Structure 1
Amino acid sequence: MQNCHILITRPEPENTISCERLKSLGAHPVALPMLEIKAIDGAEEKASIRSQIFDINEFNYVIFVSKNAARLACDWLDACWPMLPVGVHWIGIGQGTTQALLNEGIPALSNPGNTTEALLDWLKPVKMTEQKVLIIRGLGGRTELGDKLKEKGAKISYLSLYERKKPEYHAQTFFMLPDINLIWVTSGENLSNLSEYVSQYKPEWKTLPILTPSLRVNQQAKEMGWINASCANGADDNSLIKATEFHTGK
C-alpha cells in the first residue's frame, strides 16, 4: 500500500477520516467525494423528525442504514432523550454504522455481514409478526429492507434525516488529480455518480481496480463497464483496507 494513490469517494465527514487512516499506513489518499450529505433542516420537516424521535420508544426495532443515519440520529436522540428508552433493539447495518452508534453510547447490535441482504438473512429466525420497526435512513433510500420485513409481518415506519446530492465537479478537477492506482466506492449511488464523471472526463479509469462494498454494488460496477471491480465485503475502512492490501500485495 506504500505510495499507492487511492481515490476515496465516500462523503464527508467519513472521507477525511478514511484519508487520515490511509495516510497512517503510508498510502496517498486522494479525496473526491461522490455524495454530499445534507441534513434535512426545513422547519416543518424538523418538527416531524422531532415528533418521531419522541415516539421512538414505541418501536421494537430501530435500524440505522448508514453512518450518516447513525450520526444524525444520535444528535436527535441526545436532544430528545436524556436517557435512552428501554426495550428497543438498536441495529446498525455494517460494522462502521454499528461502531458509530456504540461510540455514542447506543447499545447497538450488528449482523455478521455488512449489507441489507446480510441483515435480512440474520433476521430470518426472528419472529417479526406485529413487531414495530423504524428504519432510519436518507431521503428516498432503498425500500428492500422494509419490504422484506413487511413480508415477515413487521409494521414498518421510516425516518429520513438527510438528503444525498451529487457533488458538482468540472473537467479541471479531474485533470489536476495525480495518477490513481485504485478506487474505493462505498454505495451504489456513490458508484453511479463516479461513473458519470469518469465516462465524461476519465474513461481510462474504468480499467483501474475498484473496490465495492457488496456483491450487489460489485455487479452494478461490472454492468457500468468497470472491468476490474472487486467486492471488499463491507463499506468500513477495515474491510476496504484489507481488500486494498490484497490488491497491492502489501
Structure 2
Amino acid sequence: MQGLKVLVTRPEPENALTCQALTALGASPISLPMLEIQETTDPTARAALRTQLYNLDLYRFVIFVSKNAARIGSELIDECWPMLPVNINWLGIGQGTTQTLQELHIPALSNPGNNTETMLDWLKPVKMRGEKVLIVRGCGGRPDLAKALEERGAIVDHLELYKRHMPQYTAQTFLFLDHPDVIWATSGESVANLTTYVEQFAPNLKDTVLFVPSERVAQQAKSLHWNQVICAHGADDQRLISATQQHLGR
C-alpha cells in the first residue's frame, strides 16, 4: 500500500487512529470525517443515563453497536459500577467494537461477522424469551437488532449515548482535496453524507473505488450511483486493509 492515497471518512477519534495505521503501512491517508459524534452532555439527560445504568445488573445481554458506543458507554459504566456486575454477556457488533471493549476492560465477545445480521445469526441458538437485553448505541440507530430480538421474546431497552451529525464542509474543502486512489466509508450514514458532498462539489469522485463494511451498505452505495463499490465484510481497519490489498493484487 506504499503511497496509496486513502480517503478516510470515519468519525473522530477513530479517524485519526485509522490514519495512523495507514501511515505505518506506507499509505497516504486523507482525513475527511463524514460523521461527527456528539456525546450527550445535558445534565438532566446524563442523570437519566446513570439511573438507567444503575439497573445494569438486571440485564442478561449488553450489546454495543459501535466503537463510539463502546468508548462512551464504558466510561459511564465505570462511573456507575467500579466493579462490573456479574452474569452479563457483553457483546460487540464487529471485531473493532469488541476489541475496543476489551481494551477498556469489559470482557466482551463478538459474533464471527461484523454486522447486525451476523450477530443475529450467531445468537440463533441462544434462548432469548424473557431475557433482558440492553443495546448501547447512538440516538436513532437502526431498529433491526431490537426488532429481531423482541420477535424472539427478548425484553429490549436502549441506552442512547450520543448523536450523529453531518460535518460542515464547503466547496473549498473539495477544491483543495488531494484526489484519493480509494475511499473507505464505514457506515451507511457516512456513505449518504459523502454522496451529498460529492454530488455537489466533486462528482468525479464517484468513479473512485469505494470500500464499505457490508453488503447492505454496498447496495446503498450502488443505489446512490457509486461506480466501483467493494464490500470489505467489516468496518475494522484490518478488514479494510485486507480488502484494499486484495483489490490491488498485493
Matched, 1:48 2:66: no
Matched, 1:204 2:204: yes
Aligned residue pairs total: 250
Letter in 2 for 1:53: L
Matches within 5 A, 1:61-100: 61-100=61-100
Per-residue CA deviations over 1:107-154 (Å, capped at 9, x if unaligned) read 101000000000001111111000000000000101100000000000
Q: Distance in 1 between matches of 2:85 and 2:127?
A: 22
Structure 1 gaps of 5+ residues are: none
Provide the residue aligned with 1:135 in structure 2: 135
Q: Distance in 2 between matches of 1:74 and 1:159?
A: 12
Matched, 1:18 2:15: no
TM value normalised by structure 1: 0.99
Give the drift of 1:78: 1.3
Q: Distance in 1 between matches of 2:35 and 2:193?
A: 8
Letter in 2 for 1:233: H
Q: Distance in 1 between matches of 2:148 and 2:173?
A: 41
Give the drift of 1:248: 2.2
Provide the residue aligned with 2:104 in structure 1: 104
Give the drift of 1:249: 2.5
> What SS class does the counterpart of residue 136 from structure 1 fall into?
strand
Provide the residue aligned with 1:249 in structure 2: 249
Per-residue CA deviations over 1:37-69 (Å, capped at 9, x if unaligned) read 010011111011001111111100000000000
Q: Distance in 2 between matches of 1:96 and 1:194?
A: 22
Letter in 2 for 1:10: R
Letter in 2 for 1:77: I
Provide the residue aligned with 1:146 in structure 2: 146
Provide the residue aligned with 2:176 in structure 1: 176
Give the drift of 1:233: 0.3
Give the drift of 1:2: 1.1
> What SS class does the counterpart of residue 161 from structure 2 fall into?
strand
Structure 2 gaps of 5+ residues are: none
Identity of aligned residues (%): 53
Letter in 2 for 1:192: A
Provide the residue aligned with 1:35 in structure 2: 35
